[in-house]
């Protein structure tokens, strides 16, 4: 038997990722690819799997530790045959048999950390539970509480609490040995919400937002309660934060894409040969990249102080993708340097990965500007929410053949509705109008792209 230290594999360009769950305890028998810990970036949670089977001899991390590539997670006692394979694997790399870390879910870009729910005034039971012992955690070898945690709760309850922003150390457990159940978390949140309204009125006198009333809808008829997906919960928080923190203005326009459409149709055969399907979106991405290069304020973010603008010298564009689990915004990099076919290939691939829930945190980071296209679905206009800390987003609706006055007659033209929402702290109305006019100009005459 050999004891081998299991390091954090290369999971991309991340530093100091916090451990949000330790999923194993000393003495656990783990199987290959069984999750050892859960890490959380600001984009996603990732479970880090065991590269091979073994018995956990030491757990070297605890919740809230910050990990980097190569940091030791656990020591596994493995049999000699497994050790022979493991010994060939350099400590920092993903061991040969390891599956890549699995993103537990995909999130929209820049999801903020959950805000803790305040403590309710009274608790039914004391929550000062001693650190769990090995014997206590035996019935739940995998779901055992993290080392050092002063409460008992399974990973699913911890995950449930995290999505609601609940600090479990504040919650009283009503299960066996004071184990916290999901119902305890729900009761805690209910108690918090029914506290006097002072919770939402900060002493600073800032504008507080009254919570929406809680209504028992059963008084009006039959109902069904369906939980939101994790992505919906996370994106909901992010969208609320963007909506409340960013003073939005939305500027509308309609652009004539008759020529663009004719060009797109003329490329159909070539696109088919290249194995891609060209939609208007890739032309729009290219045109946006062109205008971003000309108007760098739109390719920027405010810094944390809110007093400096960070201008980005790269053009990475996030594209909102509708998935069965909710909205995600993968990022296509260096759009200004890529051709229409290459962009189309990438968009198709990333869209497919998004729908299969296979995006990595890296796929969703680094965006400078977002595009939300509902053109394939319908509708005449909508007001997209700026995907902070970006400062602008383009909403695209369905193009429609319309009679357009050309000075002498009405001519049938294919008109594309555009909506540009922007952060008014950074962008003035005149600049917003200039951006959308410039974009409109490029889309109605693609020759502008080569100027």
**What residues act catalytically?**
424
Asked if residue 322 binds ligand CAO (CB under 6 A), the reply is yes
Shortest Cβ 348–ligand CAO spacing (Å): 8
179, 173 contact by CB (below 8 A): yes
In angstroms, the CA 263 to CA 431 distance is 30
Q: In this structure, what token pair is assigned to residue 361? A: 């945190």
The reply on whether position 386 binds ligand CAO by CB under 6 A is no
Overall residue count recorded for the chain in this entry: 451
Please give the angle made by the CA atoms of 417, 420 and 426, to the nearest 5 degrees.
Answer: 170
Q: Please count the residues of this chain forming the interface with ligand CAO, following the rule CB under 6 A.
A: 18
When binding is defined by CB under 6 A, the residue of 49, 280, 389, 432 that contacts ligand CAO is 280
372 contributes a contact to ligand CAO by CB under 6 A: yes
Residue closer to ligand CAO, measured from CB, 167 or 259: 259
Are 379 and 365 in contact by the 8 Å Cβ rule? The answer is: no
Q: Which of 19, 185, 242, 327: binder of ligand CAO (CB under 6 A)?
A: 327
Q: What sign for the dihedral angle of Cα 314, 319, 320, 323? A: negative
Shortest separation between residue 375's beta carbon and ligand CAO, angstroms? 2
- The interface mask with ligand CAO, positions 406-435, x = CB under 6 A, is ----------x-------------------
Enumerate the β-bridge partners of residue 366.
Answer: none
Residue 281 within binding range of ligand CAO, rule CB under 6 A: yes
| Smallest gap from residue 321 Cβ to ligand CAO (A) | 4
Q: How far is the CB of 301 from ligand CAO (least distance, A)?
A: 20
The neighbour count for residue 203, using CB atoms within 10 Å, is 6
SS3 137: helix
Measured from the CB of residue 251, what is the shortest distance to ligand CAO in angstroms? 17
- Residue closer to ligand CAO by CB (options 168, 319) is 319
Q: What backbone phi and psi angles, to 5 degrees, belong to 419?
A: -135, 125
Backbone angles phi, psi at 76, to 5 degrees: -110, 135
From the list 280, 258, 273, the residue with the least C-alpha distance to 344 is 280
Element (H, E) at 48: strand 45-49
Tokens of 191: 């108690």
Could you say whether residue 374 binds ligand CAO (CB under 6 A)?
yes
Q: Is 351 in the site for ligand CAO (CB under 6 A)?
A: yes
Q: Which stretch binds ligand CAO (CB under 6 A): 33-41, 248-256, 394-402, 431-439?
A: 394-402
- Chain residues binding ligand CAO by CB under 6 A are 279-281, 319-322, 327, 351, 372-376, 396, 398-399, 416
């Amino acid at each position: 038997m050999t004891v081998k230290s299991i390091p954090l594999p290369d999971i991309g360009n991340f530093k100091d990722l916090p451990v949000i769950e330790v999923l194993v305890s000393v003495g656990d028998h783990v199987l290959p690819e069984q999750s050892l810990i859960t890490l959380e970036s600001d984009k996603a949670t990732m479970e880090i799997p065991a590269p091979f089977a073994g018995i956990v001899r030491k757990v070297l991390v605890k919740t809230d530790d910050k990990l980097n590539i190569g940091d030791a997670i656990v020591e596994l006692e493995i049999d000699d045959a497994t050790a022979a394979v493991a010994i060939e694997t350099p400590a920092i790399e993903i061991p040969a048999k390891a599956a890549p870390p699995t993103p537990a879910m995909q999130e929209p870009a820049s999801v903020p950390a959950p805000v803790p729910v305040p403590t309710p005034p009274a608790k039914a039971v004391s929550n000062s539970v001693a650190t769990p012992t090995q014997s206590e955690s035996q019935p739940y070898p995998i779901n055992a509480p993290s080392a050092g945690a002063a409460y008992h709760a399974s990973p699913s309850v911890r995950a449930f609490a995290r999505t609601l922003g609940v600090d479990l150390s504040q919650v009283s457990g009503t299960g066996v040995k004071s184990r916290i159940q999901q119902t305890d978390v729900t009761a805690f949140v209910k108690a918090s919400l029914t506290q006097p309204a002072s919770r939402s009125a900060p002493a600073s006198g800032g504008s507080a937002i009254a919570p929406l009333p809680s209504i028992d809808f059963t008084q009006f008829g039959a109902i069904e309660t369906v939980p939101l997906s994790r992505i919906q919960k996370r994106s909901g928080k992010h969208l609320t934060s963007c909506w409340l923190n960013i003073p939005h203005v939305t500027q509308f326009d309609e652009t004539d894409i008759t020529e663009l459409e004719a060009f797109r149709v003329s490329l159909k055969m070539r696109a088919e040969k290249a194995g891609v399907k060209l939609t208007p979106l890739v032309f729009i991405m290219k045109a946006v990249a062109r205008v971003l290069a000309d108007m760098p304020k739109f390719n920027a973010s405010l810094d944390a102080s809110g007093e400096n603008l960070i201008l980005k010298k790269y053009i990475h564009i996030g594209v909102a993708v509708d998935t069965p689990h909710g909205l995600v915004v993968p990022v296509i990099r260096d759009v200004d340097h890529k051709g229409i076919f290459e962009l189309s290939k990438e968009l198709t691939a990333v869209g497919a990965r998004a729908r299969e829930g296979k995006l990595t945190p890296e796929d969703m980071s680094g965006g400078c500007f977002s595009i939300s296209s509902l053109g394939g679905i319908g509708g005449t206009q909508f007001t997209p929410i700026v995907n902070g800390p970006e400062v602008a987003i383009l909403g695209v609706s369905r193009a429609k053949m319309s009679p357009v006055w050309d000075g002498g007659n009405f001519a049938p033209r294919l008109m594309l509705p555009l909506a540009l929402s922007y952060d008014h702290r950074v962008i003035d109305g005149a600049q917003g109008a200039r951006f959308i006019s410039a974009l409109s100009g490029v889309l109605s005459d693609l020759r502008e792209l080569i100027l």
